[in-house]
Chain A
Amino acid sequence: MSRTLPQAKTDAPMPAITPGERNRSLLAEVKKRSGTDFNRCFQCRSCANGCPFVQAMDHPPNAVLRLLQYGLDQQVLECNTIWVCVGCHTCSSQCPMAIDIAAVMDTLRLLAMERGAAIAKPNILDFHEEVLHSLQRYGRAHKLGIMWHYKLQTRRWFSDMDTGLKMLAHRKLELRPSRVQAIDEITGLFKCYWGESR
């Protein structure tokens, strides 16, 4: 099987970097909250070479670590890498320096939301929120409902219809949600995400 080495998209020129002038507040916060110290990273790129989705990322995982070290906070929080990352931990298990890169990505997603950064892949955030709506309502994921609302939200009506119909035909999508009886035990948990109002 012939395969070309995966490369991240690098159409956009990288801005000039002047490390000394940046503050490192994001760096410190990421290290603390992810429990991961990546000073040992020597940019070997094993993480990027193993990442299944590196081709769809604007910066490969190793570059995200570097940008953090350079204090280029906004670029880090607004890159699509952190959203495309599915947390498969391939990078973490391949890193020769035992750096848990997936944990860094996980923390960066939270920080991007907390700090109000522009979300590079809003459709992915929409999807996660639709799942949360379903969990709050039923305590379980109702896939048909999630996909319905997700399509409504992102106006991608006819994309992927074919797959949806096939899944329906094979009875893979239940029409009625399965639910938790003691739903009160669940709904209260959602305050920490939506706030008191919902």
Chain B
Amino acid sequence: MSNSEQLDFSYFPGCSMATTAAESNASLMKAARVLGFNLIELEDWNCCGSSSASTLCKDLALGMAARNLSLAPAGRPLVAMCPRCLLYLRRAQARLRQDPEIRRELEERWQRPIPLDLEIMHFLEVMARFGLDRLRQSVKRSLKGLKFVPYYGCTVFGPPDLEREKHYQGEMENILKVLEAQPLIGAYTHRCCGSFLSATDPELVTPLVNEIIDSAVAAGAHCLVTSCAMCQLNLEIRCSSRIKLPIFHFSEVLGLGLGAEDYEGWFIRHLVDPRPLLHNLALVA
């Protein structure tokens, strides 16, 4: 194997990756293994709190996120795939740094230390920092001809209260260009997907999702590639436009480029089947 040096990370899947977006999880694991990233699932992790805990009770939101931090062994970074999980985990850490009182209380409650210097990052950052050379050495399948719109959604860029944290603009393009896929500009790349309104008020979300997809169609894209599982789902289930584009998880495209052959199991879970596109472009056999 070309990537001799294994890198260890703690991995926080989060509720979406564990259920609705199991195909993203499977492809991520595949890609990570080939690239020599050892993603070790956080033992007995819980939900990050999501926007619901954050909306209803700040202490609860902090507690939910903080328990996950208390489960993370020191000495290796914690990786999340969902931008919202990432946000709540980082926000909790920032809060605990400022408030030693609450930290002590939570540590006593669980009888575990909560590491404050733990590095928390999105998988895109893992790729950007450690993955590009590994990827170049391991490409198995060229995705030449695949025109995609990188769709980051609203959260992965980090909202203002975490503005000194890292931003990821352009990273998805940098990474997928290694696979010879072609990024397009001119579409909505970080417009909000509708979040929980997709469940409570779908009629508000459909026009927005249509705008996002239509903008990608107008730009000449074959597909969108997302860095967020919730965005992926909302873009798939709420689109009512005439032309529906396949919405890939970032990890799936990565997995394809790394030569995955077990993609059938990922793609049957899509509401817009990407297989015809891949066959038309002769990217898969």
Contact = CB atoms under 8 A, between A and B. Distances in A.
Contact of A132 (B53, B63, B110, B204): B53
Give the most central of B46, B55, B201, B214: most A CB within 10 Å: B55
Contact of B204 (A53, A106, A146, A186): A53
B277 interface: no
A84 interface: yes
B18 A186 contact: no
B218 interface: yes
Contact of A1 (B50, B154, B215): B215
Contacts of A182: 44
Interface residues of A, number: 60
Nearest to B194: A86
A191 to B, nearest CB: 9
B160 A163 contact: no
A127 B159 contact: no
A124 interface: yes
Given A139-B46, A193-B60, A127 B195 contact: no
Contact of B56 (A132, A142, A186): A132
Name the prevailing secondary structure of the A interface residues. Answer: helix
B200 A193 contact: no
Nearest to A124: B200
A53 B20 contact: no
Give the most central of A84, A127, A172, A186: most B CB within 10 Å: A172
B200 A127 contact: yes
B92 to A, nearest CB: 12
B160 A100 contact: yes
B284 interface: no
Interface in A93-143: 93, 98, 100, 102-103, 106, 109-110, 113, 121, 123-124, 127-129, 131-132, 135, 139-143
Contacts of A128: 51-52, 55-56, 196
Given A53-B204, A180-B44, A89 B154 contact: yes
A86 B53 contact: no
A56 B155 CA distance: 21
Given A150-B199, A186-B46, A192-B59, A170 B269 contact: yes
A3 B191 CA distance: 15
Interface string B4-21: 000000000001001110
A93 B159 contact: yes
A172 B60 contact: no
B154 A88 contact: yes
Contacts of B18: 140, 178
A56 B201 CA distance: 10
B75 interface: no
B185 interface: no
A143 B204 contact: no
A181 interface: yes
A92 B160 contact: yes
A180 B214 contact: no
A127 B51 CA distance: 11
A19 interface: no
A180 B13 CA distance: 13
A143 to B, nearest CB: 6
Given A88-B154, A143-B20, A170-B270, A132 B52 contact: yes
Given A124-B200, A143-B20, A86 B192 contact: yes
A174 interface: yes
A26 interface: no
Interface string A139-166: 1111100110010000000001001001
Contacts of A56: 201, 204
A146 B57 CA distance: 18
Contacts of A86: 51, 192, 194-197
B54 to A, nearest CB: 8
A41 B145 CA distance: 47
Interface in B161-176: 161
Give the most central of A86, A146, A150, A170: most B CB within 10 Å: A86
Give the most central of A55, A56, A123: most B CB within 10 Å: A56
B199 A127 contact: yes
A146 B55 CA distance: 16
The 5 closest A-B pairs by CB, nearest first: A88-B192, A131-B52, A89-B159, A88-B154, A189-B63
13 contacts: A52-B191, A53-B208, A84-B197, A86-B194, A90-B191, A110-B58, A127-B196, A131-B53, A167-B271, A172-B20, A172-B269, A178-B18, A190-B60
